[in-house]
Amino acid sequence: MKKTVSLILALVLMFTLFAGCGSQGQSEQGEPAGQTQPAGESEQSEQKGETAQTVTKDNLVVAVSSEPGSLAPYSHNNQQAFIPATLVYESLIVKDDNGEYQPCLATEWSFTDDVTLEVTLREGVKFHDGTDFTAEDVVYSLGLMQASSFTSNLFGCIDTENTVADGDYKVIIKLQYPFAALLEALASYRGVMISKDSYESLGEEGYGHAAIGTGPLMLDEWVSGDRLEFVQFDDYWGEPTAFHSATVRFITEAASRTIELETGGVDLAFDLQTTDWDRIANGSDTQLISGDSQKTTFLMINCSKAPYDNELVRKALAYATDVDSLVNVVYQGAASVADCWMAPSIIGYKSEEQIPYDVEKAKELLAEAGVTDLTVKFGSYENATNLAVAEVLESMWGAAGIKLELAVTDLATYTADNNAGELEVSYMNTAATIPDPTAALLVWPLSRTISLRHNDQTIQDYLDKGSQEYDSEARVAIYNELMDYFNEKYYTIPIAFEKGAFGASKSITNLPYYPSNVPDLTRIQFE
């Protein structure tokens, strides 16, 4: 199998300064966590820029596919909320286009040992509610991150009892155990800071609709069912964005988002139909910003249910699946065949040999397992990709004497069944928040309650060892061994590395593709 590895080029900056923390940008593929050793000093600068950015557009208009339920950063997994939130919230550190960590709300940071990170904060920063940003806000934010089910995979390592403020502008972050991806997590859109006073006053729901951060824009109006309105924050500590205000429109139909982009109704459009990608890329006034994402799709097999607890049966399903044809038919060029359980941009990725499509071998394995007339109950919800996968598999597996029984429910029921371990086989994906195995392998810890249920302590041991290893070469070796182990057990069948894209007006510059699919809107500039 061909290995699909993106060759990442550093973006040549067209201007000398970007706005706020967004001025540092984010690496297209990201630098692997663990590059910064404990007790190593970061390279810092007191200010991000020295020349004010010129405002060249009055209002930036963005189209997303649905209305966010909340803009509270630790309360959801909704991409449509994270995208506008980049205007509002900021993190302690950011990554530049070379993958180097740079200052944002923090000016200095260093590991004093494997479980202690000391952080010096930027002074003079204000929240949108007018209060000062201090160490108490950082301690409070980290506590919420550690406790939330949406962010605990990245911040569950934090020792909240011993993470303390040392004065107004210094924080001592203590960890329960070494965690190599800490800086990567702190630099991500999951690591943004919130106002302690406002959160305690408004509560989670109220804060989610107030969105009080330290960023260059602040939420001005939320028109339910229609749009979000943002305006520049006059007391912002950094340089202003290249636009005075921003409007985020909720446009549910993908075709309508494309038309709005082409006619100039919006400057950016997300969640586009892949069939429109070429049209946007070749448009006279539009451009397609695309690349390899950090999303890996796979066939989930419930290893706790008979007959899937038999490795021979799982192996038979792998031989009965023509992955190359499946990807070609379903994705039409918008994905590549997966040869690993995490994307090539993730540290520890290793290309594994693909099982060939062999119907007779699948039949032999089923016979050896003593399984006849196998009917696979394939769980799904109303999702076009999942249903297309099921249709293709029905034909492929049928050739091996395996019947596919499609069980389609609403998303809420599907989610509940998955969490209860009731799904037999389903098509799933892992979209890594950060370019690190701790995010890319999120479905594998034994503590996860999804229907995979491999119950294999060896996997947990690898995950623990890899996440706590700060040396990059040693981490790579650990995760390479884990990929080999996955390849022997057939707990899941990797299918595709999805590509990602969004459309933009040709006037927009300085906005690369982000593999996380959450681009930093504050860095946008215009021709």
Query: The whole model's pTM is what?
Result: 0.85
The CA distance from 485 to 430, in Å, is: 19
Residues 60/524, Cβ–Cβ less than 8 Å: yes
The CA distance from 220 to 248, in Å, is: 12
| Predicted pLDDT at 53 | 54
| Predicted pLDDT at 22 | 52
Backbone angles phi, psi at 505, to 5 degrees: -65, 145
Domain 295-497 has CATH 3.40.50.2300: no
Tell me, which fold does domain 20-285+506-526 have in CATH? D-Maltodextrin-Binding Protein; domain 2 (3.40.190)
| Predicted pLDDT at 354 | 87
Peptide bond into 435 cis (omega under 30): no
Cβ-count burial 497-517 (b if 16+ within 10 Å, e if not): bbbbbbbbbeebbbbbbbbbb
Residues 120/170, Cβ–Cβ less than 8 Å: yes
- In tens, the pLDDT along 461-503 reads 999 999 999 999 999 999 999 999 999 999 999 999 999 999 9
492: its two tokens: 């899941």
Residues 337/513, Cβ–Cβ less than 8 Å: no
- In tens, the pLDDT along 181-211 reads 999 999 999 999 999 999 999 999 999 999 9
Cβ-count burial 389-402 (b if 16+ within 10 Å, e if not): bbebbbebbeebbb
Task: Show the low-confidence residues of the chain (pLDDT under 50).
Answer: 1-19, 23-52
CA–CA–CA angle 207, 152, 21 (5° rounding) = 60
288: its two tokens: 């397609």
**Per-domain residue ranges of the chain:** 20-285+506-526, 295-497
